[in-house]
């Protein structure tokens, strides 16, 4: 029987996930489809039971449901449990719903695809302490990045993540700016630079170390003001598109046991975003 998948969120119309997953189904000759479904907060519980009753094989979860969906699931993957957030639901053989989080893992896959796996000893600075930062911090730790610092406008939010990680430190944006040359990998995880956002860059890169790796999770635009500043300083750039594609690919693999072609997808979406 044809399988079907979905992404639920509010708003949802802008999501690039349906195109990406449907393109992979076509390419890999998998008889399945993937649809966006607009689900408001008040309808979340009903939406989850409906997806179950209607036989969805799995779905992605986006803003604002990544945390609130948890009580409606039967099981959580270890990383999703630590993160307290779910972006992927898998319907298991026995019909139970299991929640995963592929956002942070997607970031690490993307980072290592661009710069390799040999930077795990480098001091890492994560800018921001929202849901994205949390996922990235846990995934980096799982992949063996041992020296993590979180810089955030509200230091206590960074400290909360560090406490849960059990290692690292939380600092202010000002301190991060002053000590920037200490870090080999810098990850911008706030919404700074997002198209239409007034918040342009979280901190100055004036003291950026020669040869540093600078990553951003925003992918629209592909080159954020932060990445443009880093590029001027000859940093190695990792844009946010790889994270988006890999979080989808990891979810796809949880659902279907096959890893889709991420390189081709990144190339295609890059061309689309550059138009």
What residues are labeled active site? 66
Which x/- pattern over 169-198 shows residues binding ligand ATR (rule: CB under 6 A)? ---------------------xx-------
Edge-to-edge order in the sheet of strand 97-100: 32-38, 3-9, 58-61, 88-91, 97-100, 75-76
Size of the site for ligand ATR (CB under 6 A): 13
CA dist., res. 231 & res. 155, Å (int) = 28
CA 171, 174, 175, 176 dihedral sign is positive
Residue nearest to ligand ATR (CB): 130
Q: How far is the CB of 96 from ligand ATR (least distance, A)?
A: 27
Indicate the residue among 192 and 266 with the shorter CB distance to ligand ATR. Answer: 192
Residues 128-167 that bind ligand ATR (CB under 6 A): 128-132, 152-154, 157
CA 202, 205, 206, 207 dihedral sign is positive
Instruction: Give me the residue label for tokens 């630079």.
Output: 193
Q: How far is the CB of 134 from ligand ATR (least distance, A)?
A: 8
Q: How far is the CB of 160 from ligand ATR (least distance, A)?
A: 10
Smallest CA-to-CA distance from 150 within 136, 135, 129, 131 is with 129
One of 104, 106, 202, 242 touching ligand ATR (CB under 6 A): 202
Maximum C-alpha span of the chain:
58
Indicate the residue among 202 and 260 with the shorter CB distance to ligand ATR. Answer: 202
Stretch touching ligand ATR by CB under 6 A, among 124-132, 164-172, 235-243, 258-266: 124-132
CA dist., res. 150 & res. 176, Å (int) = 9
One of 41, 199, 263, 272 touching ligand ATR (CB under 6 A): 199
Q: How far is the CB of 189 from ligand ATR (least distance, A)?
A: 6
CA angle 44, 46, 47 (to 5 degrees): 60
CA dist., res. 102 & res. 135, Å (int) = 8
Q: How far is the CB of 30 from ligand ATR (least distance, A)?
A: 31
Indicate the residue among 129 and 187 with the shorter CB distance to ligand ATR. Answer: 129
Stretch touching ligand ATR by CB under 6 A, among 21-29, 126-134, 206-214, 237-245: 126-134
CA–CA distance from 243 to each of 54, 59, 160, 163, 217 (Å)?
A: 30, 18, 24, 25, 7
Phi-psi region of 150 (alpha: psi -120 to 50; beta: other; left: phi over 0): beta
Residues forming contacts to ligand ATR in the complex (CB under 6 A) are 128-132, 152-154, 157, 190-191, 199, 202
């Amino acid at each position: 029987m044809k399988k079907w998948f979905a992404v639920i969120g509010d708003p949802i119309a802008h999501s690039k996930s349906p195109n990406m997953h449907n393109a992979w189904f076509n390419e890999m000759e998998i008889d399945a489809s993937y649809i966006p479904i607009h689900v408001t907060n008040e309808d979340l519980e009903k939406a989850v039971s409906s997806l179950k009753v209607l036989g969805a094989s799995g779905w992605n979860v986006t803003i604002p449901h990544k945390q609130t969906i948890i009580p409606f699931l039967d099981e959580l993957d270890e990383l999703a449990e630590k993160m307290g957030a779910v972006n992927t639901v898998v319907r298991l053989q026995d019909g139970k719903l299991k929640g995963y989080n592929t956002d942070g893992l997607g970031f690490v896959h993307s980072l290592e695809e661009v710069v390799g796996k040999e930077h795990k000893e480098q001091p890492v600075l994560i800018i921001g302490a929202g849901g994205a930062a949390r996922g990235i911090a846990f995934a980096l730790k799982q992949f063996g990045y041992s020296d993590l610092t979180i810089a955030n406008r509200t230091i206590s939010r960074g400290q909360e993540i560090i406490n849960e990680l059990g290692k690292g430190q939380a600092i202010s944006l000002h301190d991060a700016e002053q000590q920037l040359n200490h870090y080999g990998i810098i990850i911008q995880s706030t919404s700074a630079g997002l198209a239409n956002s007034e918040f342009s860059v979280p901190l100055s890169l004036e003291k950026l170390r020669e040869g540093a790796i600078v990553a951003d999770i925003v992918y629209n635009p592909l080159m954020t003001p932060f990445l443009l500043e880093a590029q001027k300083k000859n940093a190695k750039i990792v844009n946010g598109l790889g994270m988006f594609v890999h979080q989808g690919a990891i979810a796809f693999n949880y659902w279907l046991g096959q890893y889709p072609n991420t390189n081709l997808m990144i190339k295609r979406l890059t061309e689309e975003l550059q138009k």
